[in-house]
């Protein structure tokens, strides 16, 4: 790992947070010590030392039989307390169910965390063919998948420019995520009011998203829906986009936010 831009002594905290994030992505299946080390680019001994310290604090659990590590009960307690300030998931769950019922597609709530989007909720629609690119806990960089495009589009241009040069998305996701190509999608998102991901991550798996704004006008959450390409035709897409924007506006209003 490169030296992170943190104050002296903060590197261990940075590494511990990275470990917790990877366990959240691992979900209910848990991760072994070697998997944690590979995902965080830490040595196995360092990963085990951090996991053991987090276990003492109740932030992770260790299943002795399988050797797998999981997020611990203290994370739930902390999350429950924090949710009283930030939580819109109850309202969002109702909105997602309505969107899924109206369209038949899988619908999601994602939140912006720094340079990433994190999927918080998933509600499947009635259509039997589904995309599994998104699931609860999965993270993507801003500008990737429909939620990341929708959130990035409504940041200030200078902030977007700085981020894209730092993120180098094309190195991870190929030429379709070159800086110029991302800018085209961002401008289209601003014009339409919602983003479209035309199978850029998995061929044939399309997505759309609309932005939820916080009180200060910052793009904070995204509502999205995904499905197979045949379901995102030029006839259906505008109607689905309209539903997404109406739902996003409803949640923005609950947060006291407005589109800048």
Q: What is the pLDDT of residue 24?
A: 82
Residue whose C-alpha is closest to residue 259's, from 121, 153, 108: 153
- Tell me, yes or no, whether 60 lies in a domain: yes
Question: Mind listing the pLDDT tens digit for each residue in 155-176?
Answer: 999 999 999 999 999 999 999 9
Residue range 99-128: average pLDDT?
Answer: 90
Last residue of a domain, one of 53, 78, 103: 78
- Tell me, yes or no, whether 1 lies in a domain: no
Residue range 176-191: average pLDDT?
Answer: 97
Do 28 and 145 belong together in one domain?
Answer: no
14, 2 contact by CB (below 8 A): no
Q: What is the pLDDT of residue 126?
A: 85
Do 70 and 91 belong together in one domain?
Answer: no
Chain centre to alpha carbon of residue 17: 17
For the chain, strand residue ranges (E) read 60-62, 69-71, 106-113, 116-123, 139-141, 195-198, 205-213, 219-228
- Tell me, yes or no, whether 161 lies in a domain: yes
Sign of CA dihedral 170, 172, 177, 179: negative
- Tell me, yes or no, whether 120 lies in a domain: yes
| Residue 191 burial by Cβ neighbours in a 10 Å radius (0-12, 13-18, 19+) | exposed
Q: Has residue 2 got a pLDDT over 70? A: no
> Domain holding 102: CATH number?
3.30.450.40
- Tell me, yes or no, whether 4 lies in a domain: no
Reduce the DSSP state of residue 198 to 3 states and report it: strand
The backbone region for 199, taken as left when phi is positive above 0, alpha when psi lies in -120 to 50, beta otherwise, is left
Do 56 and 100 belong together in one domain?
Answer: no
Do 143 and 73 belong together in one domain?
Answer: no
Last residue of a domain, one of 78, 97, 116: 78
Confidence band for 77, pLDDT divided at 50, 70 and 90 = confident
> Domain holding 37: CATH number?
1.10.10.10
CA dihedral 240, 245, 251, 256 (to 10 degrees): 180
Q: Has residue 75 got a pLDDT over 70? A: yes
Do 245 and 177 belong together in one domain?
Answer: yes
Confidence band for 91, pLDDT divided at 50, 70 and 90 = confident
Residue 232 is encoded by which pair of tokens? 């995102």
- Tell me, yes or no, whether 193 lies in a domain: yes
Do 73 and 99 belong together in one domain?
Answer: no
Residue range 44-64: average pLDDT?
Answer: 91
Q: What is the pLDDT of residue 3?
A: 43
Domain extent for 62: 11-78
Do 121 and 16 belong together in one domain?
Answer: no
Distances in Å between the alpha carbon of 127 and those of 54, 110, 188? 42, 22, 28
- Tell me, yes or no, whether 133 lies in a domain: yes
Q: Has residue 86 got a pLDDT over 60? A: no
Do 26 and 142 belong together in one domain?
Answer: no
Q: What is the pLDDT of residue 210?
A: 97
- Tell me, yes or no, whether 2 lies in a domain: no
Do 177 and 72 belong together in one domain?
Answer: no
- The residue that leads in pLDDT, 84 or 223, is 223
Last residue of a domain, one of 50, 78, 106: 78
Number of domains in the chain: 2
Residue range 128-135: average pLDDT?
Answer: 68
Do 62 and 170 belong together in one domain?
Answer: no
Q: Has residue 131 got a pLDDT over 80? A: no
Do 169 and 63 belong together in one domain?
Answer: no
Q: What is the pLDDT of residue 76?
A: 77
In the block, tokens 């831009």 appear at 5
Do 245 and 147 belong together in one domain?
Answer: yes
pLDDT, mean over the chain: 87
């Amino acid at each position: 790992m490169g030296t992170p831009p943190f104050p002296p002594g903060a590197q261990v905290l940075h590494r511990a947070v990275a470990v917790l994030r990877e366990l959240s992505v691992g979900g209910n299946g848990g991760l072994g010590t070697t998997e944690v080390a590979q995902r965080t680019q830490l040595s196995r001994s360092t990963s085990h030392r951090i996991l053991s310290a987090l276990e003492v604090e109740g932030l992770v659990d260790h299943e002795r039989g399988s050797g797998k590590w999981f997020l611990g009960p203290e994370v739930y307690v902390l999350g429950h307390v924090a949710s009283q300030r930030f939580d819109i998931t109850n309202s969002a769950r109702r909105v997602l169910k309505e969107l899924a019922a109206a369209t038949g597609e899988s619908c999601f709530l994602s939140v912006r965390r720094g340079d990433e989007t994190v999927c918080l909720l998933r509600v499947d629609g009635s259509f039997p063919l589904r995309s599994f690119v998104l699931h609860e806990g999965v993270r993507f960089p801003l500008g990737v998948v429909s939620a990341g495009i929708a959130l990035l589009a409504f940041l200030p241009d200078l902030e977007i420019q700085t981020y894209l040069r730092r993120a180098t998305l094309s190195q991870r996701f190929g030429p379709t995520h070159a800086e110029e190509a991302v800018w085209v999608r961002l401008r289209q998102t601003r014009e339409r009011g919602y983003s479209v991901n035309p199978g850029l991550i998995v061929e044939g798996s399309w997505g759309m998203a609309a932005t939820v704004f916080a009180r200060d006008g910052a793009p904070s959450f995204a509502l999205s829906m995904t499905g197979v390409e045949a379901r995102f035709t030029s006839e259906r897409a505008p109607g689905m986009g309209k539903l997404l924007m109406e739902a996003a506006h409803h949640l923005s209003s609950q947060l006291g936010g407005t589109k800048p």
